[in-house]
Amino acid sequence: MQGMVAFSLFWIVITSFGVGLMMGVLFAANLLLTQSDCDISVRAASLDLALPANPSAAADNLQRMSRRSVLADGCTKVYLDVGSNIGVQVRKLFQPELYKEAPILPIFDIFFGSSDERTLPSAKSGLCAFGFEANPEHAQRLRELEAAYVARGWRVKFFVPRAVTDSEGDNVTFYTNAKESDHNWGGSMTYESRIRGQPASRAFNVTSLDLATFLEQEVMTRVLFPGVTTDRAVMMKMDIEGSEFAVLPKLLQRNLLCAGVVDALTVEWHARYHKSGVRSVGAAAIRDLAVQLDNRTRCRPRRVAEWFKIDDESYHLDSQPLPSKSQPLERLPLSEVEVD
């Protein structure tokens, strides 16, 4: 009898020790898991991410971490200045008070908000502008303008010298014209100026830029930053002195001139260059291109891009100094307005 009692006591001790050991193991495991969660939260915070409460948000965060960042990320509203010359159109966008008589301003108001909204830093307005210019003689001015605007908090980027066309990375010839006083208005890949049969322009070799690919890779795939609720909008101005007849067909073929990709555009046509220029486009091809742009059903079920038949060449000499970071905005005197 005493032996059985001793055995029972021994068994109770062993069992209690086992239960205690198991509880200790479970406690330690829970402590490790808690520490792991804390580490994950800290790492997420260092990446500026929040651990979401639902799986779909977690998947979005992982996708954002793994994707290639693109130029227009965070840009709710994008202006594409295709054929920037010296950058006056971009200045009208961000500094409208200097160019109050510019015909394009009411259209900017529609797609990019009021002048007060557009002068806010891009981090608040969501407005960004990307310009493209082939003429290397404008490179220094455009880079200075870009630097001045970035210092003011405006997201602006000029691609210069880059010739917008339907191919990427090709070596192409760009002709500047003889009107240096007009900032080489009419510089072109398709037209070589001549006076009395002799060349009146200079030729430069520049690298081509495929606008369709740029839109697909750098604009269409952009993501907005958390908390941004403003409607998206993309507007494009095209003034590329005859190259529109190479660029627009590819944009139409890929359905890029449709709402949600490009919402609005203005085009300056240069069919006259193709009558006597260094390249040729048939009259029938030009008419067909205009018919396609006017076709209101080509983007179904989406809307077509709004085509504004306006050519704003006002203030093209732009005598205004570039802004400093702290310089207040001033209105340009009406006497300096030049409307073509």
Tokens standing for 137? 């003689």
Please state the pTM of the whole predicted model: 0.72
Does residue 330 or residue 327 have the better pLDDT?
327
Encoding tokens for residue 334? 């009406």
* Least confident span in 50-64, 190-204, 238-252, 261-275: 50-64
Residue 218's pLDDT band (cuts 50, 70, 90):
very high
9-18 per-position pLDDT tens digit: 444 444 554 5
- pLDDT score, position 319: 83
> Residue 318 pLDDT > 60, yes or no?
yes
* Contact present, 78 and 130 (Cβ < 8 Å): yes
pLDDT score of 89 more than 80: yes
pLDDT at 86: 93
> In this predicted model, which residue has the larger pLDDT, 257 or 55?
257
Letter string b/e over residues 68-98, b meaning 16 or more CB atoms within 10 A of that residue's CB: eeebbbbbbbbbbbbbbbbbbbbbbbbbbeb
Tell me how far apart the alpha carbons of residues 54 and 211 are, in angstroms, rounded to a whole number.
38
Comparison of pLDDT for 298 and 200, the residue scoring more: 298
Q: Give the pLDDT score at 175.
A: 80
Q: Are 78 and 219 in contact (CB under 8 A)?
A: yes
Question: pLDDT class for 186, splitting at 50, 70, 90?
Answer: low
For residue 3, what are the CA distances in angstroms to 6, 12, 37, 43, 230? 5, 14, 51, 60, 84
For residue 321, with 0-12 CB atoms within 10 Å meaning exposed, 13-18 middle and 19 or more buried, which class applies?
exposed
Question: What pLDDT shows up at residue 20?
Answer: 53
CA distance 266 to 29: 65
Pairing of strands 171-176, 202-210: antiparallel
pLDDT at 193 over 60: no
Angle at 260 between CA 258 and CA 266, to 5 degrees: 50
Confidence of residue 310 (pLDDT cuts 50, 70, 90): confident
Query: What per-residue confidence (pLDDT) applies to 239?
Result: 87
Q: Are 298 and 304 in contact (CB under 8 A)?
A: yes
- pLDDT-based confidence at 274, cuts 50/70/90? low
- Contacts of 172 by beta carbon, 8 Å cutoff, 6+ apart: 163, 165, 189, 205, 206, 207, 208
Instruction: Please give the average per-residue pLDDT across 4-30, as a whole number.
Output: 49
Rounded average pLDDT over 249-258: 94
CB 262, CB 236: distance < 8 Å: yes
Joined together, the tokens standing for residue 229 give 């609720």
| Domain boundaries defined on the chain | 77-336
